[in-house]
Amino acid sequence: MSLDRLLEHRQRWRDKPLLARIYAAWFEGMLRELPAGARVLEVGAGPGFFSDYARAKRPDLRWLSSDILAAPWNTLAADALDLPFRNGAVDAVVGLDFIHHLARPADFFRESARVLTPSGRLIAVEPWITPLSYPVYRFLHHERCRLGVDPWAPFADLEAKDAFEGESALAYSLVRRTPETRWAELGLQPPRVTPLNGFAYLLSLGFKPGCLLPAPAVRPALGFDEITGPLARWLGLRARLGWTPVNNSRGARPSSAIPGRW
C-alpha cells in the first residue's frame, strides 16, 4: 500500500469541487445523528474528506480520524479490526465507504461494540443494492458486486487482499442475511437502514475523469435526490446504516492505549 491512491483522490476532490457538494448530503446525514460534544472515532478516513467537513461544521465534536494507512491529514493509523482504545471510550464510530473493504467484518463489529459507550452508536454510509444500483455496481464499477457473497468472509485470500479491494454488495448482504442473534453475539442491535439516492453522484462520475453534471445543475440534482427520497429503496445508490450496542459487558483493555487520549 502507499499514499498514492489517496493523494489521487485528494487531487480529484480539488479538481472537481462539485464532489464536495454532493458528499455533503451524506456527511450531514451522519452528523445529524451525533449528539453535542460526542467523542467520535472515524474509521476508514482515507483521504480525509469527512473529517475536514465535520470539524468545520461541528466543532463541538471531539473527532479522531483513523485509517489503516498512515496519512498526515488523519489523526492516527489504526486497524479497525483491532482498535487501540479502552472499553466505552467513544460515543460514536462513524465512516463512509469502509465496511465493504473489511476482510473480517465480524472483528470490526465486535471491536466497535467494545469501544462504544452503552448509549453509543455506529453509523456508516455504504454502497447499497437496489434495482437501479445493482447494474451500476455490477457492470460499471471497478469493485466486485456479488449478491451471493458470504458477508462474513467476503474475500477468499486474506493475505493477498489489498486495503482498497472492495465488495459492493457486502453491506447489503450483511443486513439482509444476518439474524438478530448473530448481531447480539457481536454486541450490537440489528441495524437501522435508510436508503439514499445518488443521481447527482452518478452524473458527476465520482472520482473518474470527466463529469456529466454541469456546476449550475448540482443544486437541482441534489434537490431531485431529496424529493425522490421515498423511492430510494428502489432507486438508491447508498444507504445510511446505524447500530447501537446491546450491552457494555466487554473485557477491559488498558485505558493507556493512546496516552492522554481515549
What pLDDT is stored for residue 1 in this prediction?
54
Per-residue confidence in pLDDT tens, the chain, 262 aa: 578 999 999 999 999 999 999 999 999 999 999 999 999 999 999 999 999 999 999 999 999 999 999 999 999 999 999 999 999 999 999 999 999 999 999 999 999 999 999 999 999 999 999 999 999 999 999 999 999 999 999 998 888 888 889 999 999 999 999 999 999 999 999 999 999 999 999 999 999 999 999 999 999 999 999 999 999 999 999 999 999 999 744 443 433 333 334 5
**Helix and strand numbers, DSSP H then E, in the chain:** 10, 7
d(C-alpha 24, C-alpha 28), whole Å: 6
Does residue 207 fall inside a structural domain?
yes
DSSP-based three-state secondary structure for 211: coil
d(C-alpha 256, C-alpha 102), whole Å: 26
The domain that contains 47 carries what CATH number? 3.40.50.150
pLDDT tens readout for residues 47-57: 999 999 999 99
What pLDDT is stored for residue 247 in this prediction?
75
What pLDDT is stored for residue 254 in this prediction?
36
pTM of the model: 0.92
Segments forming the whole domain that contains residue 201: 4-243
Does residue 217 fall inside a structural domain?
yes
pLDDT tens readout for residues 143-187: 999 999 999 999 988 888 888 899 999 999 999 999 999 999 999
Q: Hey, which residues does 64 pair with through a beta bridge?
A: 41
What pLDDT is stored for residue 252 in this prediction?
39
Q: How far is CA 261 from CA 60, 62, 212, 219, in A?
A: 17, 11, 45, 40
Q: Which element (helix H / strand E) includes 127? A: strand 116-127
Does residue 261 fall inside a structural domain?
no
What pLDDT is stored for residue 190 in this prediction?
97
Does residue 77 fall inside a structural domain?
yes
- 18 and 218 Cβ atoms separated by less than 8 Å: yes
Output the nine-digit C-alpha cell for 240: 445510511
Number of structural domains (the chain) is: 1
What pLDDT is stored for residue 9 in this prediction?
95
Does residue 258 fall inside a structural domain?
no
Does residue 45 fall inside a structural domain?
yes
Does residue 18 fall inside a structural domain?
yes
What pLDDT is stored for residue 259 in this prediction?
31
Does residue 229 fall inside a structural domain?
yes
